Amino acid sequence: MRKAGVLLHPTSLPSGVLDQHTERFLDWMEQCGLSVWQMLPLAPPHADRSPYQAYSSHGIDPALLPADITFTQEDTPAFDEFKRTHAKWLDSYSMFVALRTHLDDRPWYDWPPEFKYHDQAALEQFASEHHSHIEHLQQVQFLLWRRWEGIHRDAQSRGIELLGDMPIAVAYDSANVWANQHLFKLDADLKPTVVAGVPPDYFCAEGQRWGNPHYNWDVMQQNNFAWWRRRIATALHLFDRVRIDHFRGLVALWEIPADSEDGRQGEWVETPGRELLQALQDDFPSMPFIAEDLGVITPEVTALRDEFDLPGMAVLQFGFDGNGDNPHSIANQTPNTVVYTGTHDNDTTLGWFQSLDSAMQTRVLQELRTDAGPMPWPLIVAALKSQATTAVIPMQDWLELDTRNRTNVPGTTEGNWSWRFSWSQVPYALQQKISALLQSSKRANNVSTE
């Protein structure tokens, strides 16, 4: 079934939290006929607010909790059940955050040795002395999970799919690494020997040094990827489908020496992605994943994606270089694809178009429909009319917004992840326009009342 959706992280809702604006946004999606809400990881971010550098792969960002949702004594039985069900990640997450707060927000690898190296007696004493703080952290997660589960049920009742995002790597300063040090390539002082990133590409001429530690895949394989399977199970409880970010990392990851300043030094190191996907297929036979196959894609990456019949991605902003085999070009779209005008890492479509020189603007417009209206609508219509089964449009593009409203600039740490829309930018005429476009492109949500 052909679908269309919107890319919007919950922090970009008008209030930036999971309050009544969430239901209003689902109302708007339903009235437009949109059936896919894609977002970034919900995980609790570091100070730079990047959802791709988080304290936990399982936790939800506490900043998303509305002020009027609080814990009450009647919640205790459900909370106790939540703690039992989620103990494998909740205990280490809450201990990690409590310790980090107590130790002046220092990263775990700078903690005193008894905490850094998991001295059990010291941890038990700390847990006893800081019980109320640890329990509060767990209660916040309980409230967030319960709120999100209600949102998920609401979306499903409207025929709206929630599409989540799974970073290939996890942050070094995280409960994931602190609690599972043996699963990562760390030296005797628990410092990474190599870190993750990407070589120079479209987004950054110097490459990107993400700084995430690399997995110790040999150890992970010994218990059939139990850590990964728990991580995916969490994601598929919160979402209907999950985009695997940097999918090419399941063939090989770019390993950068830990002392390098950027992504130019490094090498591709093979990973057991096929074995991991086979283990995930045992747990999730429908394989509800999307492969983020952007960047330097080799035939091996394409073969792995196709072996498990995973949809790939196409970004139309990348499709105008004139190369006949460009998978992002309008002419080369295929059904088993999720097509985007742009992603959270791109400029808005209007900003991208305005940044092109006049000759390139002319070339772009020559490949697009002339009756679609001013940019970004020609690119939006191209995505909706494409062969791709699913088309996802960033909210900024639906709202015709320029560069000042982009979500993120890769390789930078200032001014990102803070954009929000307002309902004054969403007139009824826009809803009517989107609804008509989805009807004509056979992407309208069949459950929609409009």
Active site residues: 245, 292, 345
Tokens linked to 356: 């092109």
> Closest Cα partner for 150 from 78, 229, 63?
78
Tokens linked to 422: 């307002």
C-alpha to C-alpha distances, 181 to 52, 103, 185, 186, 227, nearest whole angstrom: 20, 20, 8, 7, 12
Residue at token pair 């509305």: 66
Cα–Cα distance for residue pair 149/159, rounded to 1 Å: 15
Q: Report the SS3 class of residue 192.
A: strand
Say if residues 21 and 426 touch (Cβ distance below 8 Å). Answer: no
Looking at the DSSP bridge assignments, the partners of residue 163 are 38, 241
Task: Bin 351: left if φ > 0, else alpha if -120 < ψ < 50, else beta.
Answer: alpha
Cα–Cα distance for residue pair 15/406, rounded to 1 Å: 18
Say if residues 54 and 65 touch (Cβ distance below 8 Å). Answer: no
DSSP string for 85-114? HTHHHHHHHHHHHHHHHHTTT--GGGS-HH
Question: How does DSSP classify residue 37?
Answer: E
DSSP string for 301-366? HHHHHHHTT--EEEEGGG--S--TT-TTSGGG--SSEEEES--TTSPPHHHHHHHS-HHHHHHHHH
Say if residues 66 and 10 touch (Cβ distance below 8 Å). Answer: no
All residues at 6 or more sequence positions from 23 whose CB lies less than 8 Å from its CB, including other chains: 151, 154
Cα–Cα distance for residue pair 43/391, rounded to 1 Å: 25
Cα–Cα distance for residue pair 204/420, rounded to 1 Å: 25
Kindly calculate the radius of gyration of the chain based on its CA atoms and give it in whole angstroms. Answer: 22
Cα–Cα distance for residue pair 266/253, rounded to 1 Å: 10
Give the start-end residues of each E strand in 113-178.
161-166
Cα–Cα distance for residue pair 293/312, rounded to 1 Å: 6
